[in-house]
Structure 1
Amino acid sequence: MIDTHAHLTSPAFISDLPIVLTRARTTGISSIICVSETLSDAHAVLNLTAAHPGFLHPALGLHPEHVTTLAPAQLSAALSGITSLLQTTPAVAIGEVGLDYTPRVLSLAASAADAKRLQADAFAHFLSMSQQLALPLSVHSRAAGHHALAHVVEAARRAPVAVCMHAFDGRAVHAERALRSVPEGLYFSVPPSVVRDDQLRKLVRRVPTERLLLESDAPALAPSRGERNEPANLVRAAEIIAEVKGVDVAAVRQTLAENTERLFTKVTPTFIT
C-alpha cells in the first residue's frame, strides 16, 4: 500500500514519529507521500523525506486556507518559492493545493469573494505547473468539490491532467460527471474516516475501483472521530472499500496499488503489492 497524502510534519507527530513510521511499515505500507501546506512546511517536508529516502516522498504546495490569509506580496512570494522548489527538488507531486469554501476559511479574507478569487488564482497556477512539470496534483476541495472539479475539467481541455482529489467531500454525482469528462488522469483517494462517513462510502460505491487510491491525511480523518490518525490505518480504508465493492480485500489492495503507480510515477521505485 502507498499512502498518497499525509502530514507527517504536523506537531501531532513530534513525540513518536519513528514509532508511527515503523507501524506503517509493519502494516504493509511501502511509501508515504508527505504533503505541505506552507512554504516553510515545504522545507520541513523536504528535510523529513530526505531523512527517509525511498519511504517518504515530498509533495510541495500551498493549502487554500493558507493562501486565503496572505497579503498579495506574501502570496506572490510564496507561490514563487514553491514553484522554485518544485523545479529544483525531487518532489513527486504538487500538494496540498485547491479550494476551501467552508465559512471559517472564507471569513479569513476581506470578503468571501476575495477568498474565492485568491484560491482560484493559486489553484490555476498549480494546475498549470502540474501540466508543465508533469507532476500530479493532490487537491483539497472542502465544501468546494464541484468547483474544484470544474477547474480540473477545464485544465484537461488544454492538456492532460494528473490529479488526486484528496478526501473528496462533494457529491458522488459530481465525481462521476468529472470522470466522464476526464477519461484519464483523475483519481479519488479514500481516507480511514470512510469507516464512519456515509458520504465517502457513497463515493466509493459510485467511483470505479480503477479510479480510487488510499490516503491517511494523518493526523486528520482517523477511523474514530477525535483520534489522531496515522498511515497504518490505511488497512481500515482498504477493508471498507472491499466491503462496499463486494470484492476480496487483497484484490482491492492490488488494484489501488496499480492505480497509485500510474498516477504517482516518481514513487514507483519503492512500489510493492
Structure 2
Amino acid sequence: MIDTHAHIYAREFDQDRDDVIQRARLSGIEKILMPNIDPDSITPMLATESSYPDICYAMMGLHPCHVDDNYQQNLKTIEHWFEQRDFIAVGEIGIDLYWDQTYKKEQEIAFITQLRLAKNKQRPVVIHTRDSIQETLALLQKEQDGSLQGVFHCFGGTLDEAQQITDLGFHLGLGGVTTFKNGGMDKVVPHLDLNHIILETDCPYLAPVPHRGKRNEPAYTQLVAERIAVLKACTPEEVDRLTTHNAETLFRLSK
C-alpha cells in the first residue's frame, strides 16, 4: 500500500518517528508521500525524506490556509525549490473557506499559480478543499488543458462532486473520513470506480475508526482499505492492488 498524504514530518511524530515508520512497514506500507504546507515545513519534511529515503517522498507546495499577506514571496520560495531539485508533486494546494475567507482572492491566485507550475514541471497536483469544492473545480476547469493530473485529497463530498472531479481526470483521495459513521461516505464509496481512488491518512489528523480522535499514522491506511473493501463488496487485497497501481501511475513511482 501507499499512504499518498502523510505529514509524517510534523512535530507530533518527533518523539517516536522511527517506531511509526516501522509500524507502517509492518502493516504493508511501501511508500509514504509527504505534502508540504508552507516555508517552515520544508526543512523538517526534507530531513524526514533524507532519514527514510526508501519510503518517504516529498512534495512542494503552499497550503491555502498558509496564504497570507506574504503569499507572493512564499510562492517564490516554492518555485525556487523546484529549481533546486525534483519533487513528486505540487502540493498541497487548493482553496479553504472553512476557517476564514479574508484571503479568498489570494488563495485563488496562489492556486492558479501552482497549477501552472505543475503544468510547467509536468507534475501532478495534490488539492486541498474545504467548503470550496465548486470554487476549486471552476478554477481547475479553466486551467485544465489535458495535461493536469492529480488528486482531491481527503475527499468527503457527494457522488455528483466525485463525478465532476473524475471527469476532469483527477483521482479521489480516501482516508479516515471513509470510516466515520456520520461521514456520509457509506452512500458514496459503493458507487465509486476503484480506478479513480488512492489511499491516504492525512496523519496526524483524521484517524480512522477505531482510533478516531487520536493521532493518525500511516499504518492505519490498512483500516481505510478494509472499510473501502466492505463498502465496495470486494477484498482488501483488491483495494490494495488497484489503489497502489493508481498511486504509482499518478506520482510516477517506481515499484
The TM-score with structure 1 as length reference comes to 0.88
| Separation in structure 2 between the aligned mates of residue 229 and residue 193 of structure 1, nearest angstrom | 12
| Separation in structure 2 between the aligned mates of residue 125 and residue 97 of structure 1, nearest angstrom | 10
Q: 1:214–1:237: 8 Å Cα contact kept in structure 2? A: yes
| Separation in structure 2 between the aligned mates of residue 170 and residue 86 of structure 1, nearest angstrom | 32
Residue number in structure 1 paired with 2:109: 121
> CA shift at 1:116, angstroms?
1.4
Residue number in structure 2 paired with 1:83: 79
Query: Out of 101, 105, 110, which is 2:100 matched to?
Result: 105
Spell out the pairing of 1:203-242 with structure 2 (5 A cutoff).
Answer: 203-223=188-208, 224-242=211-229
Q: 1:142–1:169: 8 Å Cα contact kept in structure 2? A: no
Query: Counterpart amino acid of 1:146?
Result: Q
> CA shift at 1:202, angstroms?
3.4
| Separation in structure 2 between the aligned mates of residue 202 and residue 129 of structure 1, nearest angstrom | 36
Task: Label 1:241 to 1:59 Cα distance change in 2 as closer, same or farther (>3 A).
Answer: same
Query: Out of 174, 178, 184, which is 1:199 matched to?
Result: 184
> CA shift at 1:255, angstroms?
0.6
Flag the structure with higher helix content: 1
| Separation in structure 2 between the aligned mates of residue 162 and residue 2 of structure 1, nearest angstrom | 18
Query: Counterpart amino acid of 2:176?
Result: P
Query: Counterpart amino acid of 1:136?
Result: P
> CA shift at 1:232, angstroms?
0.3
Query: Counterpart amino acid of 1:105?
Result: D
Residue number in structure 2 paired with 1:130: 118
Residue number in structure 2 paired with 1:15: 15
> CA shift at 1:261, angstroms?
1.3
Identity %: 28
Residue 245 in 1 paired to residue 241 in 2? Answer: no
Structure 1 spans left out of the alignment, 5+ residues: 110-114
Query: Out of 174, 177, 180, which is 1:190 matched to?
Result: 174
> CA shift at 1:23, angstroms?
0.2
Q: 1:146–1:170: 8 Å Cα contact kept in structure 2? A: no
Q: 2:96–2:130: 8 Å Cα contact kept in structure 1? A: yes
> CA shift at 1:199, angstroms?
2.6
Residue number in structure 1 paired with 2:150: 163
CA displacement, residues 48-93 of structure 1 (integer Å, 9 cap, x when unaligned): 10221121000111111110xx21xx21110000011123223111
Q: 2:165–2:171: 8 Å Cα contact kept in structure 1? A: no
| Separation in structure 2 between the aligned mates of residue 97 and residue 194 of structure 1, nearest angstrom | 22
| Separation in structure 1 between the aligned mates of residue 141 and residue 157 of structure 2, nearest angstrom | 15
| Separation in structure 2 between the aligned mates of residue 129 and residue 203 of structure 1, nearest angstrom | 32
Structure 2 spans left out of the alignment, 5+ residues: none
Q: 2:156–2:177: 8 Å Cα contact kept in structure 1? A: no
Query: Counterpart amino acid of 1:242?
Result: A
Q: 2:178–2:185: 8 Å Cα contact kept in structure 1? A: yes
CA displacement, residues 157-177 of structure 1 (integer Å, 9 cap, x when unaligned): x24211110002332212213
> CA shift at 1:146, angstroms?
2.0
> CA shift at 1:41, angstroms?
0.6
The TM-score with structure 2 as length reference comes to 0.94
| Separation in structure 1 between the aligned mates of residue 213 and residue 165 of structure 2, nearest angstrom | 32
Q: Secondary structure at the match of 2:5?
A: strand
| Separation in structure 1 between the aligned mates of residue 202 and residue 224 of structure 2, nearest angstrom | 12
Q: 1:59–1:94: 8 Å Cα contact kept in structure 2? A: yes
| Separation in structure 2 between the aligned mates of residue 10 and residue 101 of structure 1, nearest angstrom | 23
| Separation in structure 2 between the aligned mates of residue 201 and residue 128 of structure 1, nearest angstrom | 35
| Separation in structure 1 between the aligned mates of residue 59 and residue 189 of structure 2, nearest angstrom | 25
